Amino acid sequence: MVPARSRPRAVDSKADAYKQLRTLLLGGEVRPGQRLSHRSLAKDLGLSRSPVREALLALEAEGLIEHRPQSGVYLRDVSPQELEELYDMRELLEPYAAERAARMADTSQLAVLRRVCDEFAELVKRRDFERWLDAPENRRRLSTLDREFHTTILAAANNRVARRFFENAQVLSLVVSWNFMKADSATLAARAIPTAKQHREIYEAIHKRDPAKAAKLMRAHVGGMKERVLDSLHHP
């Protein structure tokens, strides 16, 4: 069963259903391997069943969910090997996106990046940050900010093919890394502190229109995160 949520106005379009379901699945409230009921989703989200069914088919085609014969639809689980492969793809593509963003990001995208950096930094500065991370909803907040930072850079790169090819690899690795790793709050705090600093440095390079520096910083950031995440997998 999907966690209780506020019920938005009923909608009939597949596009609206797709957007709401994708937000739900990537928000950290639904766990990988959790069964998704068409009927429960429609009821919990205030949607009719037909657009929910169509949206689930679209999400399955993207690889976010999977259909298991005679069992149902599930948020796809990500194995340690696949998580490593996802980070390998991010190491290849995100420096390219950061380089292009430094050339092409518009004023609104720069504003989003600055806002996200500011909020992430404020959270990390909390005196009770480790204890704050004990709450799943707070881990989800960090995950959402991290995802927004990276997806904004990907959007600013203005390459629709790369964005379509890459976005799910990016968001799956981020959601799993923050929300579903068997890591204690101290481990997550140690991961978040350098992330805040690195995000700020990447933003500054993009804001100053320095493509080479933005790409270099992004490559180091994603590579470092991959090492920390995979280490926590092998040494829980």
Indicate the helix (H) or strand (E) that contains 100: helix 80-104
Residue 175 inside a domain? The answer is yes
Read off the pTM: 0.76
Query: Is there a single domain that holds both residue 55 and residue 170?
Result: no
Has residue 23 got a pLDDT over 60? Answer: yes
Query: Is there a single domain that holds both residue 214 and residue 170?
Result: yes
- Could you say which of 75, 92, 117 is where a domain stops? 75
Q: What is the mean pLDDT of residues 45-72?
A: 82
Query: Is there a single domain that holds both residue 99 and residue 67?
Result: no
How many distinct structural domains can be found in the chain?
2
Residue 2 inside a domain? The answer is no
pLDDT of 136: 80
Can you give the CATH number for the domain in which 58 is found? 1.10.10.10
Residue 182 inside a domain? The answer is yes
Q: Is residue 178 a contact partner of residue 192, using CB atoms and an 8 Å limit?
A: no
Q: What is the mean pLDDT of residues 201-212?
A: 98
Domain encompassing residue 189? 80-234
pLDDT of 137: 84
Query: Is there a single domain that holds both residue 94 and residue 176?
Result: yes
- What are the pLDDT digits (tens) for 107-163? 999 999 999 999 999 999 999 999 999 888 888 888 889 889 998 999 999 988 777
d(CA 64, CA 194): 28
Has residue 176 got a pLDDT over 70? Answer: no
Query: Is there a single domain that holds both residue 167 and residue 53?
Result: no
d(CA 94, CA 101): 10
Q: What is the mean pLDDT of residues 59-67?
A: 78
Residue 8 inside a domain? The answer is no
pLDDT of 219: 97
Contacts of 44 (CB under 8 A, 6+ apart): 2, 4, 5, 7
pLDDT of 173: 66
pLDDT of 27: 62
Query: Is there a single domain that holds both residue 53 and residue 95?
Result: no
Angle at 26 between CA 20 and CA 30, to 5 degrees: 95
